[in-house]
A and B are shown apart, each in its own frame.
Chain A
Amino acid sequence: MTATARPDRSTAAIDVRDLHKSFGPIEVLKGIDFHVDHGEVVCVIGPSGSGKSTLLRCVNQLEQADSGQILVEGVDVCDPETDLDAVRSRIGIVFQSFNLFPHMNVLRNLTVAQEKVKKRSKKEAIEIARANLEKVGLSGRENVYPAHLSGGQQQRVAIARALSMDPDMMLFDEPTSALDPELVGDVLEVMKTLASEGMTMMVVTHEMGFAREVGDKLVFMDGGVIVEEGDPRVVLADPQHERTQAFLSKVL
């Protein structure tokens, strides 16, 4: 890689070009151009049904796009020849509903993919898992099963699970939307730490405070298109487009 401050567009972490996606007769993504640089934190906001989660899910092919191109670190994930499992192991995803494995304790949740996908030794996997549990503030919970954790704790375990794969980037799909309000803070705190360490992040969220404080870029989607994007502090304070204005006036 060259020593330029911003990697050129072809080596962007995520580079989406003219993405179209329909569910049956409903077109949810109508030509999206979207890109995330290495080390950048991009927050995606918009009303429900705007296509923001679908965009995120297309990046690691949980949804297949109808047309367009998605490059992850230069690799075309829509190409049938691409080893998706390898690409996915470099992309950490955190879901709204946590999706921890309920039949495994916390430690096993963090080590299973390390051992089966990354082929790490059990010892090494456990070491990495413990370090990440400490990072999310849950040391000592190794042997607990997910059902015995609060939502906020489960989500932090989910973040630690993703981090244990040493991902190049992290995608967050409304990570705090399913949480009781008093549990949101701990999760956002962990995400802020990650951002400060230079993690590349794409965050679909309703947390405007987080976007303003941590985001390098804010993208506002509505009706399957990107309506407005730019510096979060600028967009949130002075939205240019009237749909952005209408949305922000409702949520702020």
Chain B
Amino acid sequence: MAMKRTTKRRVVQGVLYAVLLGGAVALALAADWPTIKANFFKSEGFVPPGSWGDLITIGVKNTLIYTAIAFAGGLALALVLALMKLSPVAAYRWLATAYIEFFRGLPALLVMLFMAFGVTIAFQWTPPGGTTGAGIVALIMVGSAYMAETLRAGIQAVPKGQTEAARSLGMSAGRTTLTVILPQAFRIVIPPLTNEFVLLIKDTSLLFVIGFAAEQRELTTIARDFLASGPTAGTSTSLVQAAILYLVITLPLTQLVSFLEKRQRRSR
């Protein structure tokens, strides 16, 4: 007996929902809720006067400051690298390529340890912000390698006719780049650069390994400290709180990226 096609689709969908619901119910029944709540959602962490205070006023604040510095520095360096990579002088192209390949091939954590402990000690170098500053320099170095490739792709995505039109009006090569090419290239790379920003937010948590003065701690470090101290000590509640705070920052940004990407696709 043949089912009508619409009937068949409804049956299939019904089965799929039933499986989903069954799984959810089984999980809810099987889970040890009191243990989960005690270990991950201890109420002292969420209900004032809980530990949100330091997580936000020190942790989120510093995470955003470190990210902003690393992003601004990385972007500036990336722009230089991208322009070097497109330079008519071969030596500049090689240098930029070598730098980019080198730092894209290394773990950010390794570069960070190298800058914070290796370089500072070997050269008696005290960067602004101490070892934290050295760690941020490492983030700039690694981030710029990725952003340089993004910028280069953006610059090359600007049609050749734009350069020709600008040069035909008598603009110099530099003026053309500044006035005509870069503004269009930046527009093209805003979505991938926003992604880069999100990656940097997460990478600032690596600064944890360097260690901080109390007021310099970023979000992950504070959450780690609250594992052993504060109202939620002995539970993982602070890690859950940090996760929530990271998502509050990153989710709107990733949503913004997909919105911008959609808009760019439409306008083409």
Contact = CB atoms under 8 A, between A and B. Distances in A.
A250 interface: no
A101 B164 CA distance: 11
Contacts of A113: 166, 169-171
A88 B169 contact: yes
Contacts of A62: 164, 167-168
Contacts of A92: 168
A117 B169 contact: yes
Interface in A86-142: 86, 88-93, 95, 97, 99-103, 112-113, 116-118
Contacts of A117: 169-171, 175
A113 B166 CA distance: 8
A60 B168 contact: yes
Contact of A165 (B161, B169, B184): B169
B168 A88 contact: yes
A103 B187 contact: yes
B170 A103 contact: no
B164 A85 contact: no
B171 A99 contact: no
A218 to B, nearest CB: 25
B161 A95 contact: yes
Which secondary structure dominates where chain B touches chain A?
helix
A52 interface: no
A234 interface: no
A85 B175 CA distance: 11
A144 interface: no
Contacts of B171: 85, 113, 116-117
Given A91-B168, A93-B168, A113-B169, A103 B183 contact: yes
Nearest to B183: A103
A156 interface: no
Contacts of A97: 161
Nearest to A147: B267
A88 B170 contact: yes
Contact of A99 (B161, B175, B183): B161
B258 interface: no
B165 interface: yes
Given A88-B168, A88-B169, A89-B170, A112 B161 contact: no
A86 B170 CA distance: 6
Contacts of A103: 183-184, 187
A161 interface: yes
Interface in A36-90: 60, 62, 85-86, 88-90
B161 A85 contact: no
Contact of A85 (B159, B165, B172, B183): B172
A101 B170 contact: no
Contacts of A102: 184
Contacts of A89: 169-170
Nearest to A86: B170
Interface string B174-216: 0100011001100100000000000000000000000000000
B162 interface: yes
B184 A99 contact: no
A161 B180 CA distance: 15
Given A116-B179, A161-B169, 10 more contacts: A62-B164, A62-B168, A86-B170, A88-B168, A89-B170, A99-B159, A101-B165, A113-B169, A113-B171, A158-B165
Interface of B: 159, 161-162, 164-172, 175, 179-180, 183-184, 187, 267
12 contacts: A62-B167, A62-B168, A85-B167, A93-B164, A95-B164, A97-B161, A101-B162, A103-B183, A112-B179, A116-B175, A116-B179, A162-B169
